[in-house]
Amino acid sequence: MKDSNIHISNLLNHINEKFQLTDKECSLISEIVTIRELKKKEFLIRPDSYSNSMNFISKGCLRTYYIDQEGQEHTLQLGIENWWINDLYGYITEQPSKMYVQALENTTIVQIHKPTLENLYTLIPAISHFFREKMQSAYVSLQERTIENMSTDSISRYITFRKQYRDIEQRVPQYIVASFLGITPEFLSHLRKKHAKDLS
């Protein structure tokens, strides 16, 4: 129970950074969230399962990825403490997921299931505003990354990755970083050696 309270407090503190909740609203949220523990390499979502909750990372690290027809992995999202992770397309459309969401470390997430969240939008207007901002931010980030992948070279993408994910790179295997950048692990290693001075 004590550990659960810590994770719920992490979520509430995260929301309060944007929108100040009342004590009553905090109590209500505390009563309806679900705490889920994931072991390293355990899956939160698999293809053909349903993405039916918003998932706040209280502790740990996860990634979202898909596997193409050639068996290549493509990492779409990485997340650590105080981030949200999901198959957002599956969540919005309510279609079976095409993605994997996997823990890269022992991880604790706080979940708000979709029907509960829809109800919270009415009960706590600040929650509606909070998640609207999150959805907008996710869309903008996706568009920025798509444009960057089409218009910049590999080393530029890696430098941007290091700036945006400074606290993540050391926690994620190199092959996953390469997958996120759309290059091979061997080429990533080559980039790091070739541009060591620029990256220091």
Q: Is 145 part of a structural domain of the chain?
A: no
Q: Which two tokens stand for residue 100?
A: 């994997």
| Helices (H), ranges, the chain | 2-16, 23-32, 88-93, 114-123, 125-151, 154-164, 174-181, 185-194, 196-199
**What confidence tens digit (pLDDT) does each residue in 152-187 have?**
888 888 888 888 888 888 899 999 999 999 898 998
Q: Which residues of 95-112 are buried (b: 16+ CB within 10 A; e: fewer)?
A: eebebbbbbbeebbbbbb
Q: What is the extent of the structural domain holding 9? A: 2-123
Q: Is 174 part of a structural domain of the chain?
A: no
Q: Is 163 part of a structural domain of the chain?
A: no
Q: Where does the pLDDT of residue 3 fall: very low under 50, low under 70, confident under 90, or very high at 90 and above? A: confident
The alpha carbon of residue 190 and the mean position of all alpha carbons in its chain are separated, in whole angstroms, by 28
The DSSP result for 1-21, as a single string, is -HHHHHHHHHHHHHHHTTSPP
Q: Is 20 part of a structural domain of the chain?
A: yes
Q: Is 65 part of a structural domain of the chain?
A: yes
pLDDT of residue 170: 85
**What confidence tens digit (pLDDT) does each residue in 17-33 have?**
999 999 999 999 999 99
Q: Is 141 part of a structural domain of the chain?
A: no
Q: For residues 180 and 188, what is the distance between their CA atoms, to the nearest angstrom?
A: 11
HEC readout, 158-186:
HHHHHHHCCCCHHHCCHHHHHHHHCCCHH
Number of domains within the chain:
1
Q: Does residue 1 register a pLDDT over 60?
A: no
CB 109 within 8 A of CB 13: no
Q: Where does the pLDDT of residue 96 fall: very low under 50, low under 70, confident under 90, or very high at 90 and above? A: very high
**What confidence tens digit (pLDDT) does each residue in 100-151 have?**
999 999 999 999 999 999 999 999 999 999 999 999 998 888 888 888 878 8
CATH number of the domain within which 16 lies: 2.60.120.10
Q: Which residues of 64-81 are buried (b: 16+ CB within 10 A; e: fewer)?
A: bbeeeeeeeeebbbbbbe
**What confidence tens digit (pLDDT) does each residue in 29-59 have?**
999 999 999 999 999 999 999 999 999 999 9
Q: Is 98 part of a structural domain of the chain?
A: yes
Paired residues of 196 in beta bridges: none
Span 6-11, average pLDDT: 96
Read off the amino acid at residue 2. K
Q: Is 196 part of a structural domain of the chain?
A: no
Q: Does residue 2 register a pLDDT over 70?
A: no
